[in-house]
Structure 1
């Protein structure tokens, strides 16, 4: 592996990391993948668990760029007594420790995969989030990512390290898990869903579009010390999304037009307000900055992205 222009990537076993590593290797880029456990892959270096005391010297040797994807993400059944402290240990202290060691190693650029949750959980109609909005994180994950961003900006001012912060909304693609996977399963099985009368607007980003944007930020000079929101550039309602997923599967989505007020009331009775907010609320992002500053546009349309996601999803 060449020691020049080497890229160190964390979180390589995750949904985004696996695809990013494969793409960079296909492009003949020199890649080093930081992993928690030993493997036989020559491009991987074991660093163990990520935290404030992780040793990065070997992994950073010869690196020009760091792409930091690893994080403690949303936990459905949280078992920690102090969830915020658990998020801060990995997402804040672990990130800043890596960035400081990167400075010592001579790394020029540090790309940090953050989250739109820093902006907030919901937008008002036709007023998408922008990079200039005041941060409004509302859960421990979003708070920890915001604190990491602030720490990176301070470090950049102190040392000259170039940082690039990327805030994606929901990412979908082949192998996606969680709610998006469940949604594809419901449509594939023809399960009737009471989601046929939702008129919200939400932004998504396909995995290949996110990967393309990350790669753009590796070398683009105008990306230095910038924060970007990224999406597919097409917003749609939950109802429209389910129908488009059905089209990608060549199966009609069976949607019952239940009014949003009734859905929200039912969710409140069942203490499922957060789920109702994701299904019925607006969350839009404006990617004008990415277009104007970097000249970037999503290379994969939403319908093609959905076809790729469906093709990669083994529905049982």
Structure 2
């Protein structure tokens, strides 16, 4: 099978590229030349609504679309929703429509759990069938792309697969997850000892890639939406302890009352940051497991250990 992957310079796309080329012919669509990749490369400054892919899709059987304008914590754009839509919505639909014209059979879209929303109540996880409730421009642009892709399937017969990951971690992870693991590696006391009643769903990039590979040709994947996680939800305190175990450096947790975080969030205007720290975001992947006869091949402990090993080897921990 001939597969085109977009965004292979990114965290998810780079591992996906390495894994898929073991069994398939692949080409890549990137913003810049990948000097280590020997196959065909399509170079475009961005995924946009007016890109012409110049019949480069003619021999492609399946597109895995990872490229996106990613979520930015402090977006300084004048009109952020327009910029997200140009790449994540209009750009995605432009690629999908040209894929239809070229005879591509399947289009796998890596979306986001932010389509569902930002938080859940304990015991009420998000499901793929829930009504979308995006809370920011990034999530909104992804939700609109999903809606338009599913409409395209009815118009054209293109098989669309939508995957909404939770927070993704693994070798190459950056942002808050990497920063927290670095703090744990330094043996610093961390004030998370009493954040034990929330629950977060995470997914290692290794489990996510395995699911994406499964969806390349699985007959039950066509025109479906899948949520994905490690199938092991944990509290913030437990997450930090797991990081310590992975690093062989027991985490030092200070018992700061949870209400202190809520108060600090109100005083600093950073309630959204505090919510991610003390709140819950769970997903139900039972439908994913049942429909695809799939289970995450890596345990959460395995994913944390592989992430820690990568950070240590890069001398970031």
Q: What SS does the corresponding residue of 1:227 show, helix, strand or coil?
A: strand
1:32 counterpart residue number: 27
Shift of 1:28: 2.9
Provide Cα deviations, 1:200-247, integer angstroms capped at 9, x if missing partner: 001000010000000000010000000000000000000000001000
**Contact persistence 1:185–1:315 (CA under 8 A):** yes
1:69 counterpart residue number: 66
User: Measured at CA, do residues 125 and 20 of structure 1 come closer, stay the same or move farther in structure 2, by a change above 3 Å?
Assistant: same
Structure 1: runs of 5 or more not aligned:
none
2:212 counterpart residue number: 214
1:19 aligns with 2:19: no
How far apart, in 2, do the equivalents of 1:45 and 1:77 lie? 31
1:309 counterpart residue number: 307
- State the aligned residue count: 311
Shift of 1:58: 4.3
How far apart, in 1, do the equivalents of 2:78 and 2:235 lie? 36
How far apart, in 1, do the equivalents of 2:131 and 2:192 lie? 32
**Contact persistence 1:34–1:59 (CA under 8 A):** no
2:200 counterpart residue number: 202
Provide Cα deviations, 1:35-86, integer angstroms capped at 9, x if missing partner: 1223443322223321001122343130000000000011133221000000
2:75 counterpart residue number: 78
How far apart, in 2, do the equivalents of 1:292 and 1:6 lie? 27
How far apart, in 2, do the equivalents of 1:141 and 1:64 lie? 28
User: Measured at CA, do residues 296 and 39 of structure 1 come closer, stay the same or move farther in structure 2, by a change above 3 Å?
Assistant: closer
Shift of 1:160: 0.3
User: What's the TM-score, normalizing by structure 2?
Assistant: 0.96
User: Measured at CA, do residues 254 and 35 of structure 1 come closer, stay the same or move farther in structure 2, by a change above 3 Å?
Assistant: same
How far apart, in 1, do the equivalents of 2:56 and 2:306 lie? 33
Q: What SS does the corresponding residue of 1:59 show, helix, strand or coil?
A: coil
**Contact persistence 2:55–2:102 (CA under 8 A):** no
How far apart, in 2, do the equivalents of 1:227 and 1:22 lie? 25
2:293 counterpart residue number: 295
Provide Cα deviations, 1:147-201, integer angstroms capped at 9, x if missing partner: 0001101111100000000001000001100000011011011121111111200
**Contact persistence 2:115–2:139 (CA under 8 A):** yes
1:157 counterpart residue number: 154
Provide Cα deviations, 1:290-310, integer angstroms capped at 9, x if missing partner: 111000000000001000000
User: What's the TM-score, normalizing by structure 1?
Assistant: 0.96
1:251 counterpart residue number: 249
User: Measured at CA, do residues 170 and 117 of structure 1 come closer, stay the same or move farther in structure 2, by a change above 3 Å?
Assistant: same
1:275 counterpart residue number: 273
1:146 aligns with 2:147: no
Q: What SS does the corresponding residue of 1:262 show, helix, strand or coil?
A: helix
How far apart, in 1, do the equivalents of 2:53 and 2:245 lie? 46
How far apart, in 2, do the equivalents of 1:308 and 1:241 lie? 15
